Amino acid sequence: MDFQLSDEQQLFQATIREFADKEIRPVAREWEAEGRYPHEIVDKMKELGLFGLTVPEEYGGLAVDMVSFSIVFEELARAWMGVAGILGSHSLAAHMIAQHGTEEQKRRHLPALATGERRTAIALTEPDAGSDLQGITTRATRDGDEYVVTGTKFWITNARFADPLPVLVKTDPAAAPAHTGMSVLLVDADTPGYSVSRDIPKLGYKGPESAEVVLDDARVPVENLLGGVEGQGFKQVMGGLEVGRINVAARSVGIAQESYEQALKYAGEREAFGKPINQFQAIQLKLAEMATRTQSARLMTWWAASRADAGQSANMESSMAKYHGSEAAIANALDSMRVHGGAGYSKEFDVERLYRDAPLMAIGEGTNDILKMVIARQLTGGKGRIG
């Protein structure tokens, strides 16, 4: 058992870290405060080929292993979690197309998605259906060679740039169980009846938009049905969410790591009662806890990623990694703010942004309470052995 990155992975990590430190970190605080979309950073990510992380090489992508995939999101999130979100939604949707699309769909979409010439996202959540995806109400009714789609999707990252946008719909609302009547449609940006109605204001996760998408009798060609067979949408999405949870787990590690590093640095510089505060036991205990949380979350993320790389189901492992990592991010962000004292509450320090970004990690790709139920079902359903 080897807990070390390979030489190739270490080189990849160094490349992404250098990019994040040079191109993202210097502008993150200012651009986040301005609510500015990071177009320039997106262009740099295109040059690095990062939009092709989950696209097979035959379609122009990098097709990186899942451990390398997690490294990208950890390093980006350390500098600015919002930028990692732009790449995350795209990578998940591209993975779904690569895994489940027809050959024609792959040829039509993947080469442009790999270069970032076009971007994508994924539309699952609705105003009244988040963790309970079987409760969605967006419907697609077959009308000749088209589906007529009606419904509203909510909290959609990359919505204003997605082309196509994979949308989870019900093609058979009467199906029992409900998930057997669900499908994914690849909705082109110029589809009549499709619109991005508004951006949702947020506590954190600035940079990318999180938007409401409206489909008002939008007519989508039948050939845009992902995989070409109705009723497969729920399975396609659930498989994709394993990758999504590794992505969120890695972003969580990035927040946890950056929170720890900021606290460690500040504790060595700030003096109280005539000595650096890192000489006080209370601060030392916090630093030890933060470092341990971060490393355990990182190893769990690599563990889940390694399972996926081995071609094994990583449903429980990715759920554990995302749950544990996001809790570590939240705890570290708060402890880092406590180490900083009043300075941590100021927008002049990055800790304040980390504190606002961290809670989303416990919500995205399945809330932590839902994921604990997913884990428990695996344990009680016969997969009780975890070691």
- What would the pLDDT profile of 134-169 be if each residue is shown by its tens digit? 999 999 999 999 999 999 999 999 999 999 999 999
Catalytic (active site) residue 365: yes
Q: Among 199, 231, 263, give the residue marking a domain's end.
A: 231
- The answer to the question of residue 309 being in a domain is yes
The active-site residue out of 32, 74, 242, 365 is 365
CATH number for the domain spanning 145: value is 2.40.110.10
- The answer to the question of residue 121 being in a domain is no
- The C-alpha R_g of the chain, in whole angstroms, comes to 21
When pLDDT is cut at 50, 70 and 90, the band that residue 191 belongs to is very high
- The answer to the question of residue 171 being in a domain is yes
- The answer to the question of residue 279 being in a domain is yes
Average pLDDT over residues 314-341: 97
Average pLDDT over residues 184-189: 98
Alpha-carbon distance values, 144 to 147, 219, 221 (Å): 8, 11, 9
**Model pLDDT, residue 2:** 72
When pLDDT is cut at 50, 70 and 90, the band that residue 1 belongs to is low
214 in the same domain as 168: yes
Average pLDDT over residues 177-187: 97
Structure-token pair, residue 88:
């995350």
- The answer to the question of residue 126 being in a domain is no
- What would the pLDDT profile of 299-310 be if each residue is shown by its tens digit? 999 999 999 999
Q: Among 197, 231, 265, give the residue marking a domain's end.
A: 231
Examine the pLDDT at 279 and tell me if it is beyond 70: yes
250 in the same domain as 226: no
170 in the same domain as 96: no
When pLDDT is cut at 50, 70 and 90, the band that residue 384 belongs to is low
Examine the pLDDT at 96 and tell me if it is beyond 90: yes
DSSP character at residue 61: -
351 in the same domain as 254: yes
Examine the pLDDT at 387 and tell me if it is beyond 70: no
- The answer to the question of residue 385 being in a domain is no
DSSP helix/strand/coil, 114: helix
First to last CA, the chain: 13
Average pLDDT over residues 52-62: 98
Instruction: Report CA torsion sign: 294, 239, 172, 160.
Output: positive
When pLDDT is cut at 50, 70 and 90, the band that residue 386 belongs to is confident
Percent of all residues in the chain with a pLDDT value above 70, rounded to a whole number: 99
Q: How much is the pTM?
A: 0.96
Quote helix, strand, coil % in the chain, to nearest 5: 60, 15, 25
When pLDDT is cut at 50, 70 and 90, the band that residue 385 belongs to is low
69 in the same domain as 51: yes
**What is the count of structural domains for the chain?**
3
Q: In whole angstroms, what is the distance from residue 49 CA to residue 229 CA?
A: 31
**Model pLDDT, residue 382:** 74
289 in the same domain as 316: yes
Average pLDDT over residues 351-372: 96
When pLDDT is cut at 50, 70 and 90, the band that residue 130 belongs to is confident
**Model pLDDT, residue 3:** 80
- What would the pLDDT profile of 209-262 be if each residue is shown by its tens digit? 999 999 999 999 999 999 999 999 999 999 999 999 999 999 999 999 999 999
249 in the same domain as 185: no
Write out the residue range of the structural domain in which residue 16 sits. Answer: 7-115
- The answer to the question of residue 285 being in a domain is yes
CATH number for the domain spanning 363: value is 1.20.140.10
When pLDDT is cut at 50, 70 and 90, the band that residue 80 belongs to is very high
241 in the same domain as 211: no
**What average pLDDT is seen over the chain?**
96
